[in-house]
Chain A
Amino acid sequence: MSLRGKTAIVGIGQTPYYKRGTAPDPEQKLALRAIVAACEDAGIDPRDIDGFVSYGSERNTGQQMLPALGLRDLRFAALAWTHGGGIPGALTIAAAAIVSGQAEIVVVHRAMAEGSNQRLQVAVTQDETPAQFLVNGVDFILARSAQRAMRLIHEGVPQECFEAIARAGYFHAQNNPGAMGHGHMLTLEAYAASRWIGEPLHLYDCSRESDAAAAVVLVSAERARDLRQKPAYLLSAPMGAGASQGSREDNHEPYTSVGMIGLADRLWRESGYGPSDVDVAQVYENFTPMAAMALIDHGFCTRESAGDVLTFDNLIAPAGKLPINTSGGNIADGFIHGMGLLPEAVRQIRGTSTNQVPGARLSLMTGGPGDSLTSTALLGSDETL
């Protein structure tokens, strides 16, 4: 049985982004603020939430937040068993709970505040860092992503693609007053002059780590039609890993795949659409080359055509062929372990983005590309059902 079109996102909520370690509120208060905001957006009483789903190292659980939200009947809670790769997968878990009758109003959320937790890059790596990385000075995420990026360039994808992805994020941030990169236009010169983090990654190729929270509310398609917002229907959100992938391996093939080839195949088959149908995409860019690999895995271009397809002009709204990261993305909007991308994917369906793609009906969001087990989601307006 397919979950295609059976549920929809009907509410979105976010706190402002704060530089990491500077949020005025503790992490759980940020989570509550985002969840309440998402409920208000949907026109739903927070007391009626009956399910929670998150991913990665989220520590603000439904059972902790139950009293502050006044929940009357909490019936479902689950965590997608991966890191940033789990965001679209969390939607599938929520949808499965709704369609199977386990819950009716499910929140998917993520909150991060370094002051009340620990740095994300430490939280993510502490249980996944075998000796072979640490003894060689290899950062589990950064250095391994940089090594993959270097190989991707060797395979024919020019550095200009990474720069275009970074600049598209900053370009979009200029229209988004809430973006951390708002007021800071990234020029070609500034990109090229920015310091190396791990070659070929410039500073601007790397996502931020912010303090913030974001939440969305999912309900059944039937219920969605009676609520106040235009529903963003969940057409498909498969979770999966490539056959030779493994979270502690550098021996998967192709090495410069982020494990989304089979995943994208399932996405297109279940949704009935393909890469050329997508109007706008929020592409998880922990590092820009990883986003390029995700786009290649999804079939938007090949290693050979990437230089012609992944250009600044193509990647920006409103007129580009494939506008990406239209709120600014993880790089220029803010970074809550990727969760900020999801409300923006919904705003594009509603027509309320600050960088709206005119008439957008199919909105893609890809999960974290650093995870072997990751996920990807296609949201659609009612015309796409």
Chain B
Amino acid sequence: MSQTPRIRGGIGADGPYWDALERGVFQLPRCAGCGAWMWPAHYRCGDCGSWDMEWVPLDPIGTLYTWTRMHQAPVLVRERIEDVPYVTLLAEIPAAGGKRVVGALHGSEDGLAIGVPIRGVFLPPSPKTKGYATLGWEIVR
């Protein structure tokens, strides 16, 4: 896919994140000037002023920072209605300075609790994901 995000309204600097997921790679941006991790991606490092980001491939391993079980689908994502209730979450990524990445739970809810280890699973594009390849997060048991 192109560097231009297909969904309007994003910051627009996160194209490489989605491109990499299509190749089965989880990567997050780090400032080339000062090494600060950032998420979501931005065009410029607000800390040091650098315009250069390096995208660093990472193992999709994290900790469940917080979650909710959604009992209705968002107005803008009606494709999820058949999944209700479903769990969305923030995955804290220790290898990226503890940055928190938005995601949805994949697989069983057994053991669902803040602080449990979670692992990313590469999922193909679907209407539910608006045609984007995504990372689903499963609880590590």
Interface set of A (CB-CB < 8 Å, partner B): 119, 121-122, 125-140, 142-143, 146-151, 154, 195-201, 248-251, 255
User: Are A251 and B103 in contact (CB-based, < 8 A)?
Assistant: no
A135 / chain B contacts, CB cutoff of 8 Å: 7, 129-130, 132, 134
Are B102's CB and A250's CB within 8 A? yes
Q: Which of B80, B89, B132 contacts A147 (CB 8 A)?
A: B89
8 residue pairs of the A-B complex, CB under 8 angstroms, read A130-B40, A131-B5, A135-B129, A137-B70, A138-B102, A198-B72, A248-B11, A255-B100
Contacts A127-B9, A138-B104 given: A248-B40 contact, CB under 8 Å? yes
Q: Which of B56-97 contact A (CB under 8 A)?
A: 65-77, 80, 83, 85-86, 88-90
Number of B interface residues in the complex (CB < 8 A): 43
Are A199's CB and B83's CB within 8 A? no
Separation of A154 and B63 alpha carbons in the complex (Å): 14
Contact, CB under 8 Å: A125 / B76: yes
Q: For the complex, is B99 an interface residue (Cβ under 8 Å from A)?
A: yes
Question: Does B39 touch A at the CB level, under 8 Å?
Answer: yes
Instruction: Give B contacts to A, CB under 8 Å.
Output: 5-11, 14, 18, 39-40, 65-77, 80, 83, 85-86, 88-90, 99-104, 114, 128-130, 132, 134
**Total number of residue pairs linking A and B with CB closer than 8 Å:** 127
In the complex, which of the residues A131, A146, A201 contacts B7, with contact meaning CB atoms closer than 8 Å?
A131
Chain A CB within 10 Å, residue with most, of B39, B76, B85:
B76
Chain B residues whose C-beta falls within 8 Å of the C-beta of A137 in the assembled complex = 70, 73-74, 77, 80, 83, 86, 88, 104, 128
Minimum CB–CB distance for A192 against chain B, Å: 15
Whether A136 contacts B88 in the complex (CB less than 8 A), given A130-B10, A250-B100, A251-B100, comes out as: yes
Are A129 and B7 also in contact (CB < 8 A) when A134-B76, A136-B102 are? yes
- A142/B9 in contact, CB under 8 A: no
A198 touches B68 (CB 8 A): yes
Q: A250 CB to closest chain B CB, in angstroms?
A: 5
Pick from B75, B83, B86, B134 the residue with the most CB of A within 10 Å. B75
Contacts A129-B10, A134-B130, A150-B114 aside, 17 further interface pairs with beta carbons under 8 A come to: A119-B75, A130-B10, A130-B40, A131-B18, A135-B7, A136-B88, A136-B129, A142-B72, A146-B68, A147-B67, A147-B68, A149-B68, A150-B68, A151-B66, A196-B71, A251-B100, A255-B100
| Cβ–Cβ contact A150 & B66, under 8 A | yes
Closest B residue to A153 using CB positions: B114
Could you tell me the distance in whole angstroms from the C-beta of A342 to the nearest C-beta in chain B? 27
Contact A147 B7 (CB under 8 A): no
User: Which residues of B are found within 8 Å of A196, using beta-carbon distances?
Assistant: 69, 71, 85
Residues of B within 8 A of A122 (CB): 75-76
Complex Cα spacing A146 to B10, Å: 21
- Asked if B100 and A199 make an inter-chain contact with CB atoms under 8 angstroms apart, the answer reads no
Of the residues A119, A129, A143, contact of B70 by C-beta under 8 Å:
A143
